[in-house]
Amino acid sequence: MQLIFYTTVSPEEYCRQGKDFPFPEPDYCPHCRIKVPPQKHGFFDRNAITADFSGHILIRRYYCQYCHTTISYLPSFCLPRFQYCVDLIFTGIRLMLEFNFSLRGCLKFLKGRCRQFYWDISHLQFYLRRFLASLKSIMLGLRQILPRVQLPEEMPAKKEGAQKVLRLITTGFAHIQSFSTRFYEALGYAFMAPLPNILA
Ligand SMILES: [Zn+2]
């Protein structure tokens, strides 16, 4: 199983620290919940790309000898199954939905500000489509994480609904990483994950 842990460390710094990074150390198995610390079980590497960094980072793994589950800890700047970091993806989504940038305008803006940036229009289209398709699931998550949240009752138009949801995320959480981490904790999948069957 994969978990996300919150960190304020940048991808670059996380990468620099390598195996010396203070990874989370579970004192019980998050899967079977037996009160024995899972054993360290090496690392795997994955890509992490953001505005000013692109490289391989190490992901800490543990193994529970009781339920034979491997547990890996993804730092909160990563989204499961995405190479690009969550803040970059979320910035693109905000530029398009909140600040009304066109796809081309958004691409140009980001290219001007990011050292490592190889997106084309299709990346932006993909993230935008995925975010719009996930609105219902994101609202479900917001309701669980922030029980008193005021959600839009009926989604008027897709874009307007998306703007409201975006505002709830940007005002309710200090950083997109904290929203992303808490969403994953509460629902067990990422806010940008393909829709789970129950919501489709
Ligand atoms: Zn276990």
CA of 31 to the centre of ligand 1 (A): 5
Residue 72 Cα to ligand 1 middle (Å): 13
d(CA 137, ligand 1 centre) in Å:
28
Tens of pLDDT along 129-159?
A: 999 999 989 999 999 999 888 887 766 677 8
In sequence order, the 6+-apart residues with CB closer than 8 A to the CB of 85 are 11, 48, 49, 50, 77, 78, 79
Which pLDDT score is estimated for 200? 47
How many residues does this entry show for the chain?
A: 200
Of 128, 155, 160, whose CA–CA distance to 139 is shortest? 155
Chain position carrying tokens 């004192």:
27
DSSP H or E run through 183: helix 176-187
pLDDT at 159: 84
State residue 194's pLDDT score.
84
The predicted-structure confidence for 30-78, as pLDDT tens digits, reads as follows 999 999 999 999 999 999 999 889 999 999 999 999 999 999 999 999 9
Q: What pLDDT, on a 0 to 100 scale, did the predictor assign at position 59?
A: 98
Q: How far is the centre of ligand 1, averaged over its atoms, from the C-alpha of 1 (Å)?
A: 10
Helix (H, G, I), strand (E, B) or coil at 149: coil
Q: Which two tokens stand for residue 25?
A: 């150390």
Region 107-118: mean pLDDT is 87
Token pair listed for 69: 């589950």
Could you give the CA distance from residue 16 to residue 97 in angstroms, rounded to a whole number? 34
30 Cα to the center of ligand 1, angstroms: 7
74 alpha carbon – ligand 1 mean position (Å): 18
Cα-to-centroid distance, 29 and ligand 1 (Å): 5
Q: How far is the CA of 97 from the centre of ligand 1 (A)?
A: 42
For the residues 85-104, what does the mean pLDDT come to?
Answer: 96
pLDDT at 192 over 50: yes
Task: Work out the average pLDDT over 161-178.
Answer: 94
